[in-house]
Amino acid sequence: MDESDADGEAGGRIELGSASAAPGTLDRGRLPVAELPTGGAERLPVVVANGAEDGPTLWLTGGVHGDEATGVAVVQDAVAALGECLADLAGAVVAVPVVSPAGLRRNARETYYADEDPNRHFPDADAESARPPKLQERIDARLYAAITGHTPDDTSEFAVETVGTNAAADALIDCHTAGVGSESFAIRDRVLYGDRRSESEAAALSAELGRLIDAFGLPVVREYPAAEYVEENLQRSTAGAVLNEAGVPAFTAELGAHSVVGDARLDAGVAGVFGVAVEMGLVEAEAVPESVDEPGVGVDPAPVEFPVRRFRGPTTDDSGLVRHRVAAGDAFAEDDVLADVVNAAGEERGTVRADSDGYVLGRCEGLAVYEGDPIGSLAVRDDGDLVVPRDADEE
């Protein structure tokens, strides 16, 4: 007898950690993922909103960087609003508002497990290492197993499996913030083909991703080109691994500044989640709570009409103090001056010019710059393909 028969209800009960939600209910709990040296366990907060009817499952994650407050709040508030329409929900939403409690405790991007980005350790079958996996890799692998429904290759007591016919993700939104004064945008990763999937399968996956990311309502910025993407280990980010390792549509939402909750960005993020939920068929548009805006309301559109990709730069050839000439949301053309570099007395040392057309997502934080430092986070013109080979020699 399968679980749906055992419960006598469509879809069946969904269990994750101590959260257990029968159809038509919402439950909160904790998911143990690692043992702590002082005793007890590292536990992730989880919420399961299980609709009254069967349907797809949307996963929401936030707080993989401990200082990205708005991302956490979007996941919390989206789930709370979904709780108002459980009777109209066909499918489920599974949420982990804080993926990195060890970063949240210190209000910092990195955890105290290791002074490195915790969002670069999700599974990648091509990642080679002669050493055993470190703690962050183990935690990320356990969460990944729960998201994707893959049986974890883990014999510890913290091996994670979600229980229920609707538990594995059909799509994932990972909620972040970018930087002080940054625009809000959604990052669309390129879909890689090769060992994981054929080019035609990658094209189908990319098309599904495009449909969902457009429904979110924020300006779309494509991710780095494939070689840079892999070099930066972005295929081992939360969304990157779920998309390019597991083959599940997944994207990252960047929702303004870190450290404090931005109310307008929060509203836009919640509206975006509902936009995706409607597009997936989880909920009908007329059942969305009145408190939730239409996707994209209150969000500045991209100031350019051509496709853009993420670019951190341009870099300065001079050390000194940076004085920006453009702000977040400003468009620029190739060779425009984006910033001046001056010495501490205010004398000009040099200028930094744009290498391409595009617009400013945000300025790099800090006043002092050294040779080779980037001065901004930009969205620059992108003529590249959205479906690309993982390895250059496969072209």
Confidence band (pLDDT; 50, 70, 90) for 244? very high
Asked whether residue 272 carries a pLDDT value surpassing 50, the answer given is yes
Asked whether residue 172 carries a pLDDT value surpassing 70, the answer given is yes
Tokens coding 238 = 């939360």
For the question of whether the overall pTM of this predicted structure is more than 0.75, the answer is yes
Q: How many CB atoms lie under 10 A from the CB of residue 148?
A: 23
Q: Mean per-residue pLDDT for 71-99? A: 96
Residue 295: the pLDDT is 97
Q: Mean per-residue pLDDT for 213-220? A: 98
More reliable by pLDDT, 391 or 258: 258
Asked whether residue 8 carries a pLDDT value surpassing 90, the answer given is no
Average pLDDT in the chain: 92
139 phi/psi in degrees, rounded to 5? -65, -45
Residues 274 and 315 in one domain: no
Among 252, 287, 322, give the residue marking a domain's end: 287
Residues 340 and 252 in one domain: no
Residue 125: the pLDDT is 87
The pLDDT tens digits for 128-147 are 777 888 999 999 999 999 99
How many domains does the chain fold into? 2
Please identify which residue in the block is written with the tokens 């969000």.
299
Q: How far apart are the first and last CA of the chain?
A: 48
CATH number, domain with residue 355? 2.40.50.100
Q: In terms of residue numbers, what domain contains 89?
A: 3-287
The pLDDT tens digits for 86-123 are 999 999 999 999 999 999 999 999 999 888 899 999 99
Residue 3: the pLDDT is 40
The pLDDT tens digits for 37-46 are 999 999 999 9
Spell out the alpha helix ranges (H) of 24-68. Answer: none
Residues 252 and 220 in one domain: yes
293 within a domain of the structure (yes/no)? no
Residues 244 and 324 in one domain: no
Best CA proximity match to 16, nearest among 2, 31, 27, 26: 31
Tokens coding 54 = 């069967």
More reliable by pLDDT, 26 or 164: 26
Give the DSSP H/E element, type plus range, for residue 240. Answer: helix 238-244
Please identify which residue in the block is written with the tokens 């936009």.
275
Residues 191 and 257 in one domain: yes
Confidence band (pLDDT; 50, 70, 90) for 161? low
Residues 278 and 202 in one domain: yes
Compute CA distances 393 → 232, 321, 382, whole Å: 19, 42, 22
Residue 163: the pLDDT is 65
Asked whether residue 4 carries a pLDDT value surpassing 50, the answer given is no
Residues 250 and 317 in one domain: no
Asked whether residue 10 carries a pLDDT value surpassing 90, the answer given is no
Residues 316 and 241 in one domain: no
CATH number, domain with residue 49? 3.40.630.10
Residues 282 and 312 in one domain: no
